[in-house]
Structure 1
Amino acid sequence: MTTENKRSSTRTYDAARTRRIILDAAEAMFAELGYSAARIDGIAKASGYNKSLIYQYFGDKLGLYTEVVKRADQIGDQVTGEAMAHFLQNENIVSDPVLFRQFIESMSGQLFHFLLENPRYLKIMLWESAEDWKTWNQITYRPDDMTELHELAIAAKQNGLLRKDFEPAMFPIMIMHVTTAIIQSFSRYQNLLGSLDTPQSREKTIDQIAKMIIHGIMEPSVL
């Protein structure tokens, strides 16, 4: 490698590392304070880089927030995408009730573990919900984790797996929000539910989440 190529490689590495450090600091700040209260000054101080560099890399606070959301969503896709791909390769998933239940169990478990291992992302979503998703709806990156699950639910309903009065568009929403709500409620109801500190308690909780979704949306005759 020539000296010039070495310098170019170092600059590329440093830029990637700098972006990662800034995004880590921003993610922590947005999770702690929400978008509205977070300040670029605070993110700059936490990251160790000056404001002008943050603006150079991300444009403005909304651009920085967009990249935080984008990075978290892409990590989530890597986790849940494997589970989806495994089941979606089997065309019987929308006609076989056993396979469809297994899919819900797998998706619920993958999402549960992702949110538990990425609490900052969960907090950001809770801040957005509290603020009526007004910032989320402004960002340029549009996470599309709904369409494929919606289409799957439509086909499953047509094949009699889902309740006749169930709206297929609610399927991905239920998986996301039932899982989210239960995780964020554990601290509030720890006297009743215990904690999520052990593998046994986590697996038990995943089982309960999956059962709640399955029995809420599927036809009783196929359960």
Structure 2
Amino acid sequence: MQVQSKSGQAQAKPRSRQPEVTRRNILDAALVEFADKGLAGARVDEIAARSGSNKRMIYEYFGNKEGLWLTVLEAAYARMREEEHAIDVARMKPMDGMRYLMEFNFRFCARNPEFIALLTAENLNKSTYLSESEKVQKLYSPLLAVIRDLLERGQREGVFRRGVDPVHVYLTIASLGTCYFSNIHTLSTIFGRDLASQAELKARTEHCVAVVLGYLRA
């Protein structure tokens, strides 16, 4: 679309970014609501109020509450992968690269308790909604390629053992983080220690890194 300037020349009218802002606000509000109450307990009215939008706009952008839930899940996974890929692990030495992936996973889980809450809720749903995603598997293919490359280079250099499945390596890295943070409150109560403190997080990270690297060493 063009408008006339004072000089009479046609100028392009700036395109409004309002739809993008509205969509982002809805997703941010939905993340908080879903993480706090899960899919079943979350209310679209609350998401609309929190985002400064309305139910009509939510349904226009996402179809229904389930569509919004899936979009929030996909966005959470995408954010994790984007932050993880900020460092070019392919240029690291195999041992350093594997350490980075483990430390990143722990730091991300510590900073994003909402992500853990979403994973827990979707597992209770038996991945009913995530199984419909066309994006999530594609997000993880590059990560598995990075892990496979680290393992292969480590094997050639004689620092990693052979016959290691990259999927199992990732599952171990992920489980060491998500299990800790999904149970951090009950575990803190059981052992009488604040497992969310910086000292405990640092100690746990180092322990997990040592466990995985100890297994991988040739």
TM range (shorter): 0.7 to 0.9
| 1:118 equivalent in alignment to 2:120 | no
Contact 1:128–1:134 (8 Å) recurs in 2: yes
Residue 185, structure 1, aligned to residue 189, structure 2 = no
Cα displacement string for residues 86-112 of structure 1 (whole angstroms, at most 9, x for unaligned residues) = x3025xxxxxxxx32322221121122
Change (3 A) 1:17 1:168: closer
- Relative to the length of structure 2, the TM-score reads 0.78
Q: Which residue of 2 aligns with 1:24?
A: 28
Q: Where does residue 207 of structure 1 map in the other structure?
A: 206
Deviation string 1:16-72 (CA, Å, 9 cap, x unpaired) is 221222111111121122223333233223323221111112222233223322322
1:63 aligns with 2:62: no
Gaps (5+ residues) in structure 2? 6-10
Q: Check conservation: 1:27, 1:68, Cα contact below 8 A.
A: yes
Deviations along 1:114-139, one digit per CA (max 9) or x if unpaired, are: 22212111110111122221221123
- Once residues 195 and 147 of structure 2 are traced to their aligned partners in structure 1, the CA distance between those partners, rounded to angstroms, is 33
Instruction: Calculate percent identity across the aligned residue pairs.
Output: 20
Q: 1:165 to 1:36 in 2, by over 3 A?
A: farther
Query: Partner of 1:113: helix, strand, or coil?
Result: helix
Which has the larger displacement, 160-169 or 201-210? 160-169
Asked if structure 1 preserves the Cα contact closer than 8 Å seen for 2:32 and 2:114, the reply is yes
Cα separation, 1, equivalents of 2:195 and 2:114:
18
Task: From the superposition, tell whether residues 62 and 162 of structure 1 become closer, same or farther in structure 2 (CA, over 3 Å).
Answer: farther
C-alpha RMSD over aligned residues: 2.9
Secondary structure of 1:146's aligned partner:
helix
| Distance in 1 (alpha carbons) for counterparts of 2:53 and 2:146 | 45
Instruction: Look at both structures and tell me which one has the larger radius of gyration over its CA atoms.
Output: 2
The letter for the 2-side match of 1:194 is D
